[in-house]
Amino acid sequence: MEQIDKLANFIMSEIEGEPSQNEGAGDTAIRIIKQLRTSHAALLTALNRLKIQAKLTSDYEDELTGTLHSAVKQAEQAIKEAKELT
């Protein structure tokens, strides 16, 4: 019983807005843990999406840099050939 009282006191003092439902300390703790687990999974999913987006952006930037580099080389070659013709 002492541990349940300790849990109840912790929930009331440390978790804002709790207890929010008419339930015992054990049920409140279970509900909070389930909510946190769901939130944690959603945050991991969002983080993975951001990592994928960052990777795609990085790949796109690398490809664009390569394309621009190639275009500059072609322009330099065209200028050189034009100068040789004159």
Query: What pLDDT, on a 0 to 100 scale, did the predictor assign at position 32?
Result: 92
The yes-or-no verdict on residue 27 having pLDDT over 80 is yes
Asked whether the whole model's pTM tops 0.75, one would answer: no
pLDDT band at residue 86 under the 50/70/90 scheme? low
| Per-residue three-class SS string for the chain | CHHHHHHHHHHHHHCCCCCCCCCCHHHHHHHHHHHHHHHHHHHHHHHHHHHHHHHHHHHHHHHHHHHHHHHHHHHHHHHHHHHHHC
pLDDT over threshold 80, residue 84: no
52-69 pLDDT, tens digit each: 888 878 877 878 888 888
